[in-house]
Amino acid sequence: MRPNKRDELVSKALEVFYRDGFHATGMDKLVVETGVSKTSMYKHFRTKEDLILAALRLRDENFRTWFMRRVSELADTPADQLVASFDALGEWFEEDGFRGCMFIKAGAEFQEKSHPIHLQAAEHKRLILIFYTDLARQAGARNPEALGCQLLLLKEGAIVTAVLVKSCDPAKDAKAAARVLLDSALS
């Protein structure tokens, strides 16, 4: 039960769950794709739910790390970073394997509010909200909580729209909207 082996399994499972969905991905498929045996899989993870939770934890870490780093690379001041975050999103949308937000999908497939997977998806969004609220506060917004939530709306809407609506350029429109909302929150 080498710990790095476990990490490998989580990483591969994350990839397959993200690509094919949670209910649509059986443990047998994961066993084939990872090359490990079913018994080994269940030595590392008590249930499929445990594996999904581990994959979501990894995804949360990966995404937020990438997102925050990229935002800080793209702009220097909090105000500019608020706006630049939508450029970062736009880069993500253009990636080959882009399939929308894993946590929106997790929340959609496990809808009970008390379900551990639903709760973990909600926790990710809470952390993103905090990220935006902090930036809004540092930028000097009159009501950082309200602006943070509005930026979260734009981000989530942009992701959904990037998946489902071809005739839009959601990253561009969200960025423009963010600038307007920021200006309005500062004046």
Question: Is the CB of residue 37 less than 8 Å from the CB of residue 43?
Answer: no
38 binds DNA (CB under 7 A): yes
110 binds DNA (CB under 7 A): no
Question: Is the CB of residue 75 less than 8 Å from the CB of residue 85?
Answer: no
Q: How many CB atoms lie within 10 A of CB 180?
A: 9
Q: What mask of x and - would describe binding to DNA in positions 42 to 81, judged by CB under 7 A?
A: xx--xxxx--------------------------------
d(CA 176, CA 49): 40
What does residue 115 show for φ and ψ, rounded to 5 degrees?
A: -70, 135
109 binds its own copies (CB under 8 A): yes
115 binds its own copies (CB under 8 A): no
Q: Which residue has the tokens 């039960």?
A: 1
Q: Which residue has the tokens 């894993």?
A: 102
Token duo for residue 171? 């990253």
- Select the residue interacting with DNA from 37, 62, 72, 77 (CB under 7 A): 37
Residues near DNA (CB under 7 A) = 1-2, 5, 23, 25-29, 36-40, 42-43, 46-49
Residues near its own copies (CB under 8 A) = 19-21, 23-24, 99-100, 103-105, 107-109, 111, 121-122, 125-126, 129, 146, 149-150, 152-158, 160-161, 163-170, 173-174, 176-177, 180-181, 184
